[in-house]
Structure 1
Amino acid sequence: MRSFLSLILLTFLGVVLSQGNDARPPLGFVQSKNGKFVLNGKLFNFVGANSYWLPLLTSKEDVHTTFKEMQGAGVKVLRTWGFNAINGSELAGALESGLTYYQLWNSTDWTLNEGPQGLKRLDYVVDTAGQYGIKIILAFTNNWVGYGGAELYINWIAGAGKTHDVFYSDPAITKSYQKYVKAIVNRYKNSPNIFAWELMNEARCLGDLPSGPNCAPASGTPLLSKWYKAQSDYVRSLDPNHMITTGGEGHFFWQGENAGYYYDGNFVSDYNFNGQAGEDFDADLALENIDFATYHIYPEYWYSNLNHPGTNWTVKDWGLKWIQAHADAAAKAGKPVILEEFGVSGLQNKTDIYPAWVDLALKTKHAGILPWQFGQLGLKESGGNRVIKYADLLVDGASPNDGLAIYRNQTTVWNIFKNAAKVQEGRSK
């Protein structure tokens, strides 16, 4: 009898455990499945927006104004920073100006600011997004110094004179990064308003600090891929339901002629394809807990010889090649891909180039398209004029403009994305 009862008990436990492993995510959580995004059993395709400045606003009314504008434009996903950090020497100025900050560094450790000038502002953005049917991609840190990225960890923990890539290998830095990640994930892991966690914005071997010699895959040291794996596994241990992505620019590690191009009859090894940046897009996308692919497009800023007389390269054509390459790689991996950032300078360039890029992204079944960056008019805080930090400021009610912002009154460009949003909505069934 005991053996029979034990058998029944073991069978019951096996069923329960099996159900637990196959349990569906809570309602409202987007998932990656068979190369597509799925939300509550339906496909989810979207046009999104980048707005790092939204949690920097001090006015709740302006936050609502911005989300309402996004909703009207068909935006379904917002990408923003889950980091804003300052040094202790900046605190007095931050308090005076109202600057949003989540981490305060004074030593090899930092203090979390959960107050009204800190994470309560991010709380408000996350909560408000859901009221407008918008989900959020939240990045944990920045490859660049802006708003307190990897360089703060390096300078405070590893010390002066270290190269940028020590961020990916120093155990003390990893411990500090994971401490912050845990604070953010635990804060929002039950929220359906989070679309995905992003490990880092634009991770590279180099940042504002130079790279060391043993970072890139081409050197035989796939340091960044190992970091992506370790951190995505860590985030998954904290949160079984939300998706995770790299936030990378999509650099490849190709070899031979595929890793470069000919210019004036000479072969030029290409940083975006030869592994020097540290990423290996194909290998990184194959990682178990990387749920979808991201990449960025800025050829106008990456190549000095594009669009120059005597060359057959153009910004538009290079971007089309880059889009197709990532679509092919994502299809091979069987995971969704989003064009997460892209930009060109000048209204005429945007008008000429964006239709071709967006059209190819749609034709190649990109699940998401997010231009850099969303522009908002009619902001009222501080009378519509406020210096935020660096060169970022509100001018006559307009959100910060780095030359790439797209505002509603730029009708032709605005409508490119509004129309694409309708296409993506039609595919979400």
Structure 2
Amino acid sequence: MNNSIILIFVAILIIFPNEFSKPTRAFSNNNFVYTDGTHFALNGKSLYINGFNAYWLMYIAYDPSTRIKVTNTFQQASKYKMNVARTWAFSHGGSRPLQSAPGVYNEQMFQGLDFVISEAKKYGIHLIMSLVNNWDAFGGKKQYVEWAVQRGQKLTSDDDFFTNPMVKGFYKNNVKVVLTRVNTITKVAYKDDPTILSWELINEPRCPSDLSGKTFQNWVLEMAGYLKSIDSNHLLEIGLEGFYGNDMRQYNPNSYIFGTNFISNNQVQGIDFTTIHMLPGLTQEAQDKWASQWIQVHIDDSKMLKKPLLIAEFGKSTKTPGYTVAKRDNYFEKIYGTIFNCAKSGGPCGGGLFWQVLGQGINPIKASLDSNFVYIDGTHFALEGKPFYLNGFNSYWLMYMASDPSTRNKVTNIFQQASKYKMNVARTWAFADGGSRPLQSAPGVYNEQMFQNYGIHLILSLVDNFEAFGGKKQYVEWAVQKGQKLTSDDDFFTNPMVKKFYKNYIKIQIISWRLDLKDFMGMTRNNITLIISIMGLILSPTIKLEKLILPQFIFTLINGSTPEAQDNWASQWIQAHIDDSKLLKKPILIGEFGKSSNTTGYNIKKRDNYFGKIYGNIFNCAKNGGPCGGGLFWQLLDQGMENYGDGYEVVLQISPSTDRVILLQSLRLSKLS
């Protein structure tokens, strides 16, 4: 972004002091920002906010060796006359917690937050401090509910965060601890520090279990009152995105409602100003139109509420089709122009905070901890700022069954069953090259029926080494049909025409995934999480255990030996790859493992025992900080799919003992996250 845009916006506010800094009523403590009607104010003058989001400040300040990035960020912000930063004052559970358990705090992380506040003060930056996340990143409301479940509460939804007395007690205690914290650097309690502009109850709250809005309304009433009873110095806002309730749902994107209500929530006594977020993934024209409408309706309602409005998040993603820095600058200018014109005419728009600032040298992938994409952090998978451990299954047949609407219920059943046992990843085939029901019947010729409604995002394999569903052999045959003189299936890896066929197929698939992004977002919010691991895109080695597609000598070694020899080999095979993955500095996924019912002496108990040992290897490695990211058993079938069986199949509905083994692994891995 052209930094002059921010500087020009602030300069305008400075050049016209008589117009924008009119005297306001005095406040009992002139050092604190307060509100005067529909305006922010400080020291008897109107205060207009121009700033940024940087959720990562405390997280980075935790490590003294990286605190310079916090300092540099505030220095740059001050240089361009920004005056407010919004950041997280929470990290619940996970690998680097502020609160590792209810009432148990990490002093090093708290000292990181102390540093953030002291540095902000040094550079004249006020802070908006959010106290918990609606999402799973950095723990969120989900972590609070899990803590209550661990203490015997019978809870079934993350939305129990808003109603369960124990959970609410945990939250209140955390509020009290944070607000009464005495900064080890400034020696000032947070509740007495004017550097803090406002507290935020929860980032982007939603309560889909009660779309009437009553549950969340009651929570805001209770928590606003509680926080203000501890700290009457600071302003308080909720953290709303701006969604309306059912009576005004026409103003929401796609008329969706989320259990919050911009009007009634902000009418609560103790809520001092309103907020909206706006990060739509739209085209330039659609985004500009939507943004103008979204802002204006909230300006009008903030006037009615007689409270200032802060655009707490806005931005343009580099992933938007046709994105350029010039287009981002243009979008920022339009948002800033709307804010300025509203302020100039005496309206309630108090300013805006773009999302987000990164310190130079901060990995942008790791910094996207609030996103829904799985990424790599050293030798671990990660999601939303926390280690992500995979426990799931293979079901190669999902697309094949979904191509026939009459059998799609099999796909639904599988995901319902997997979710029941807390599995979070599935690996499946995204190919069917040639044959009787092809996805690609010839190079570049696709079967639309196989693409339709294929919005389930998983670990997707793009071609088979073997002949099932066409494989590399089919690609080579297509090239031969077009005149290439090829003699081996391995020409798949070298022949320019074959490689072009394959690259074109990848391009077609990725375009279809982009079109399905909306479906993906919905799926991730319902526990079926996308991990794109396409031919090394995630760059994670995979290993396969006890499966016919292994080289013949390995298959013979496994299936023709005693269970003891089999177990020993599996442990050695896993350990060797764990050691090498450490060397490679990448996570490892056991992409396939299983026990065939065709094995001599096979029974369910032996399969359960084998699964338990593989799961044990994974868990012990993960528990000790090793690179083992999880495992996917081969394979999961629904009832009535006997024709798809190969001896390794697991049917959850008829395998209660195996179900328990899988669930135990899911639960104990989740505790490591």
Measured against aligned partners, the alpha-carbon deviations of 1:51-94 in whole angstroms (never above 9, x if no partner) come to: 0111122223222111101111221011000101224xxxxxx4
Measured against aligned partners, the alpha-carbon deviations of 1:299-342 in whole angstroms (never above 9, x if no partner) come to: 22xxxxx549xxxx712101110010111111111111100001
Contact 2:161 2:168 in 1 (8 A): yes
In structure 2, how many angstroms separate the alpha carbons of the residues matched to 1:32 and 1:242? 10
In structure 1, how many angstroms separate the alpha carbons of the residues matched to 2:57 and 2:142? 23
* 3-state SS of paired residue (1:43): strand
Matched, 1:166 2:173: no
Matched, 1:197 2:199: yes
| Deviation larger for 159-168 or 135-144 | 159-168
In structure 2, how many angstroms separate the alpha carbons of the residues matched to 1:66 and 1:393? 23
2:54 aligned residue: 51
In structure 1, how many angstroms separate the alpha carbons of the residues matched to 2:295 and 2:316? 15
2:266 aligned residue: 285
In structure 2, how many angstroms separate the alpha carbons of the residues matched to 1:201 and 1:393? 24
1:112 aligned residue: 105
The structure with the largest alpha-carbon Rg is 2
Measured against aligned partners, the alpha-carbon deviations of 1:10-48 in whole angstroms (never above 9, x if no partner) come to: xxxxxxxxxxxx994323200011111111111110201
Matched length:
325
The one-letter code matched in structure 1 to 2:135 is W
* Offset, 1:104: 0.5
2:82 aligned residue: 75
Contact 1:251 1:273 in 2 (8 A): no
1:295 aligned residue: 276
In structure 1, how many angstroms separate the alpha carbons of the residues matched to 2:254 and 2:265? 15
Summarize the alignment of residues 301-340 of structure 1 with structure 2, pairs less than 5 Å apart. 307=283, 314-340=286-312
In structure 1, how many angstroms separate the alpha carbons of the residues matched to 2:157 and 2:254? 20
* Offset, 1:378: 5.4
Which of 373, 381, 405 does residue 356 from structure 2 map onto?
A: 373
Summarize the alignment of residues 255-294 of structure 1 with structure 2, pairs less than 5 Å apart. 255=247, 259-260=249-250, 270=252, 276-294=257-275
Contact 1:385 1:393 in 2 (8 A): no
**Aligned alpha-carbon RMSD (Å):** 2.8
In structure 2, how many angstroms separate the alpha carbons of the residues matched to 1:191 and 1:391? 37
* 3-state SS of paired residue (2:269): coil
Aligned CA distance change for structure 1 residues 164 and 46 (closer, same or farther; 3 Å):
same
Measured against aligned partners, the alpha-carbon deviations of 1:344-370 in whole angstroms (never above 9, x if no partner) come to: 223424234222222112222221200
* 3-state SS of paired residue (1:27): coil
Measured against aligned partners, the alpha-carbon deviations of 1:108-162 in whole angstroms (never above 9, x if no partner) come to: x34112x22x100000101110010111100010000001110001122146861
The one-letter code matched in structure 2 to 1:103 is Q
1:233 aligned residue: 225
Contact 1:198 1:246 in 2 (8 A): yes
Aligned CA distance change for structure 1 residues 351 and 128 (closer, same or farther; 3 Å):
closer
* Offset, 1:222: 1.5
Matched, 1:103 2:99: yes
Contact 2:78 2:123 in 1 (8 A): yes
Contact 2:27 2:34 in 1 (8 A): no
* 3-state SS of paired residue (1:241): coil
Contact 2:50 2:352 in 1 (8 A): yes
Contact 1:341 1:370 in 2 (8 A): yes
Aligned CA distance change for structure 1 residues 224 and 392 (closer, same or farther; 3 Å):
farther
Summarize the alignment of residues 5-44 of structure 1 with structure 2, pairs less than 5 Å apart. 24-44=27-47
In structure 1, how many angstroms separate the alpha carbons of the residues matched to 2:174 and 2:312? 24
Question: TM-score when scaled to structure 1?
Answer: 0.70
The one-letter code matched in structure 2 to 1:354 is F
Contact 2:27 2:44 in 1 (8 A): no
Aligned CA distance change for structure 1 residues 387 and 299 (closer, same or farther; 3 Å):
closer
* 3-state SS of paired residue (2:354): coil
The one-letter code matched in structure 2 to 1:48 is G
In structure 1, how many angstroms separate the alpha carbons of the residues matched to 2:103 and 2:335? 42
Summarize the alignment of residues 151-162 of structure 1 with structure 2, pairs less than 5 Å apart. 151-158=142-149, 162=156
* Offset, 1:375: 2.6
Unaligned runs of 5+ in 1: 1-21, 88-93, 206-210, 262-269, 301-305, 395-399, 401-429
2:234 aligned residue: 242
Question: TM-score when scaled to structure 2?
Answer: 0.45
* 3-state SS of paired residue (1:189): helix
Which of 112, 120, 136 does residue 145 from structure 1 map onto?
A: 136
In structure 2, how many angstroms separate the alpha carbons of the residues matched to 1:165 and 1:243? 26
In structure 1, how many angstroms separate the alpha carbons of the residues matched to 2:366 and 2:309? 36
Aligned CA distance change for structure 1 residues 123 and 352 (closer, same or farther; 3 Å):
same
Contact 2:365 2:375 in 1 (8 A): no
Contact 1:30 1:242 in 2 (8 A): yes
2:124 aligned residue: 133
In structure 1, how many angstroms separate the alpha carbons of the residues matched to 2:45 and 2:340? 18
2:548 aligned residue: none
The one-letter code matched in structure 1 to 2:195 is N
Measured against aligned partners, the alpha-carbon deviations of 1:193-216 in whole angstroms (never above 9, x if no partner) come to: 1100100000001xxxxx42xx12
In structure 1, how many angstroms separate the alpha carbons of the residues matched to 2:37 and 2:250? 32
Measured against aligned partners, the alpha-carbon deviations of 1:178-199 in whole angstroms (never above 9, x if no partner) come to: 0000001112001111100100
Contact 1:50 1:370 in 2 (8 A): yes
| Deviation larger for 188-197 or 49-58 | 49-58
In structure 2, how many angstroms separate the alpha carbons of the residues matched to 1:61 and 1:344? 27
* 3-state SS of paired residue (1:340): strand
The one-letter code matched in structure 1 to 2:53 is N
Contact 2:51 2:84 in 1 (8 A): yes
Contact 1:27 1:192 in 2 (8 A): no
The one-letter code matched in structure 2 to 1:37 is F
Which of 332, 345, 361 does residue 354 from structure 1 map onto?
A: 332
